[in-house]
A and B are shown apart, each in its own frame.
Chain A
Amino acid sequence: MIKAGTWVQIHKIILTPNERAPHLPADTKLVPLEIWIKGTLLKDSKIGKPAEIKTVTGRIETGTLVQANPHYSHSFGNDVPELRIVRDMVKTLLWGEQND
């Protein structure tokens, strides 16, 4: 149970594939247009169940509850060894051998 007052994210389908705009690429035409919105849950609900939220601008939206207390997990990515090679290449060219 997710309590009213919790910061949540909801999801819904805005346009089904047959309601979508003409002239879309074939792969996009096959899938619906989906939306995710965050806000404060107005009534207790559960993940996967209908939910009503109030967004930070005060709008009321409804959809399926997908996440409570949504957070960001994007990062600086995994190590990319190629970048060290670039760094060494340009430093060596400008300043000379780096390991002297």
Chain B
Amino acid sequence: MTDRNSYENILKRKADIMRQSTGIDYSKYEKGLLSFDYEGFMKEYSMPLDLVSQIQAEHGVGQTPLKELPNITALVRKIAKPGFGARIFLKDEACNDSGSFKARRASLACFLAKTLGFKGVITATSGNYGAAVASQAAKYGLKCIVVQECFDSQGIGQPEIIEKARACEAYGAEVIQLTVGPELFYVFLRLIEETGYYNASLYSPFGINGIETLGVEIVNDCLKLTQKVPDVVVVTNAGGGNLTGTARGISKTTDQKVQIVAASVNLSGLHMASDHDFNKKSFTTGHTGFGIPFTTFPDRSDVPRSAARPLRYLDRYVTVNQGEVFFMTETLCALEGLERGPAGNTALTAAFSIAQELPEDKIIVVQESEYTGAGKHHQAQLSFAKENGIDIFFGDPKAEIPGTNIILPENLSLIQTKDLDLRKIRTSLIRNYVKDYSKITNIDLNFLKDETNTSLKEVKAILRELKVEWEEENG
């Protein structure tokens, strides 16, 4: 095919399109065979955090309240062993303009687009980020296009995504709605080329820099309320940016060890690019369908090198089931009087389980909440699941089969996170990066150590298993 805009031809121009739409020459940071200078790259494309905070504060973002959830803590203590049941706090990110922490990422994207002289911003997202970019673009007088994966081949829209389209349009964005498939990226590239807009990628360094303020605020808010830094911060994990930015912000604010726990909703067995499976999901983000692939291969994103690299920062990765998260979403409403979106409550559900492992004087911060509303409300999602033939009943959530049933815990003690094996996740990341090589350089060896947040000894052991050799010294 000779069409300039054919799938193949657009993808061939990807690197040029990216360079023009982000203002970043990614090739400058490439090192070794498979490595890149992550910290150098982050340093060059980040702003000082006090400036970031100021930009955000002037645009309705940040300084959200950290709220103690005393009734949920009390509920934990009803079922924990005596003396156990850590205090649970929630960083109520739903209070950002547009209703989620994504406003922090969007704020810098739109600030930069305006500063660099772009007429508009464009983003590919079916999540809260679309509304966040649209809201921030409205403040700067920028045009905005949001590209969504929205419908299955029967034209049935996922209600949560439909609601996000509505929100984007409410903020004045043009919303492009597509059926299921990874070629969304092709449509996105075509539109960038056509419009010359700024690519407000979730995975740009600024997209992460914008979240670092969340980590800073969590530490400072917690110190104010409790005179202590949090022992554990639980982060809902999908593309990894939320975790990366928060962890970086925390480490820039305190030297004390804060355990970073990633939490995703278990959607194993459902294929993310399957037309049939699309509307069998009751979560459109915060799930393992994004969390695992992005943790084990962060550079799968819409930019050549992702600034979101969660495996560098997480200490523990847990999953929870859909039924448990819906249960906790209703519990947050019933006991704390807070009506929030289910996907954002993934970390809350994990915190409910983890709090039982810790003494009463320990502090867990649930790092975000998101707005709720028509389509994305937990009742809307459960109702939609029933329409799609998903069985909903009370029982043991561990038996839940995503796409077939949603099991609400029949008693509270059944809300239990499942720990993922980090050794397996590290092996998977290393396998993804070395797959084209039989021998890697010393630079690559050290890059993989940093990427997996482990020791050289461990990386070497994994490389041996994968039958890949390495250079001991540079050269």
A residues with a Cβ closer than 8 A to B are 14-15, 19-21, 24-25, 27-28, 30-39, 55-59, 72, 74-80, 82-83, 85-87, 89-91, 93-94
- Residue of A whose beta carbon sits closest to that of B376: A74
Considering only CB atoms, which chain A residue lies closest to B372 in the complex?
A76
Contacts A14-B183, A25-B273, A86-B330 known; A78 to B386 CB distance under 8 Å?
A: yes
Give the segment of B166-174, B241-249, B417-425 that binds chain A: B166-174
Cβ of B130 to closest chain A Cβ, rounded Å: 14
Docked complex Cα distance between A28 and B145 (Å): 25
Instruction: Report yes or no: A15 in contact with B374, Cβ–Cβ below 8 A.
Output: no
Q: How far is the CB of A92 from the nearest CB of chain B, in Å?
A: 10
Contact yes or no, A86 B334, CB < 8 A: yes
Rounded to whole angstroms, the CA-CA distance of A14 and B181 in the bound complex is 11
What's the nearest-Cβ distance from chain B to residue A18, in Å? 11
With an 8 A cutoff between CB atoms, is B144 at the interface?
yes
A58 CB to closest chain B CB, in angstroms?
Answer: 8
Interface residues of B in 235-278 (CB under 8 A from A): 271, 273-277
Is B301 in the interface zone, CB < 8 Å from A? no
Please give, as numbers and ranges, the residues of chain B lying within 8 Å of A35 by CB-CB distance: 176-179, 187
Min CB gap A70→B, angstroms: 10
Q: Which of B47-55, B288-296, B377-385, B445-453 contacts A (4 or more CB under 8 A)?
A: B377-385
With A72-B162, A82-B382, A94-B71 as known contacts, state yes or no: A21 contacts B181, CB within 8 Å: yes
Q: What size tier do the contact residues of chain B reach? A: 35 or more
Nearest opposing residue in chain B for A26, CB measure: B274
Q: Are A80 and B383 in contact (CB under 8 A)?
A: yes
User: Is there contact, CB below 8 Å, between A27 and B274?
Assistant: yes
Identify 20 new A-B residue pairs, CB closer than 8 A, beyond the known A27-B274, A28-B274, A38-B175: A15-B7, A24-B182, A24-B273, A25-B275, A33-B181, A35-B179, A35-B187, A36-B177, A36-B178, A37-B177, A74-B374, A75-B374, A75-B380, A76-B374, A77-B159, A77-B380, A86-B331, A87-B334, A89-B412, A91-B335
Which residue of the partner chain, among A15, A76, A78, A86, contacts B183 with CB atoms under 8 Å? Answer: A15
Asked if B15 is at the interface (CB within 8 A of a chain A CB), the reply is no
Q: Is B225 an interface residue (CB 8 A)?
A: no
Selected contact of A75 from candidates B327, B334, B375, CB within 8 Å = B375
Q: What's the Cα separation between A41 and B408 when bound, in Å?
A: 47
> Residue of B at shortest CB range from A36?
B177
Inter-subunit contact A31/B380 (CB<8 Å)? no
B57: interface (CB < 8 Å): no
Name B residues whose Cβ lies closer than 8 Å to a Cβ of A.
6-7, 71, 74-75, 78, 120, 143-145, 150-151, 153, 157, 159, 162-163, 166, 169, 172-183, 186-187, 194-195, 271, 273-277, 326-327, 330-331, 333-335, 374-375, 377-384, 386, 392-394, 408, 412
Collect the chain A residues with CB atoms within 8 Å of residue B277's CB. 25
**Which B residue sits closest to A70, measured CB to CB?**
B169
User: A59 with B195: in contact, given A31-B153, A77-B382 (CB under 8 Å)?
Assistant: yes
Chain A residue nearest to B190 (CB atoms) is: A14
Does A28 lie within 8 Å of B181, measured CB to CB? yes
User: Which listed residue, B74, B178, B326, touches A34 by the CB 8 Å rule?
Assistant: B178
Q: List 22 A-B contacts (CB under 8 A).
A: A19-B7, A20-B183, A25-B271, A25-B273, A25-B277, A27-B276, A31-B275, A33-B179, A34-B153, A35-B179, A74-B374, A75-B159, A76-B374, A76-B379, A76-B380, A77-B379, A86-B334, A86-B408, A87-B330, A87-B334, A90-B75, A94-B78
Known: A21-B7, A28-B273, A33-B179. A93 touches B383 (CB 8 A): no
B272 to chain A, nearest CB (A): 9
The answer to whether A34 and B380 have CB atoms under 8 Å apart is no
Q: Within 8 Å CB of A72, what residues of B?
A: 162, 166, 374
Complex CA gap A80/B383 in Å reads: 6
Question: What is the CB-to-nearest-CB distance from A22 to chain B, in angstroms, rounded to a whole number?
Answer: 10
Q: Which chain B residues lie closer than 8 Å to A74 at the CB level? A: 157, 159, 162-163, 166, 374-375, 380
Residues of A within 8 A of B176 (CB): 35-37
Give the chain A neighbours of B392 by CB distance below 8 A: 80, 82
CB of B274 to closest CB in A, whole Å: 4
Q: Which residues of A contact B275 (CB under 8 A)?
A: 25, 27-28, 30-31
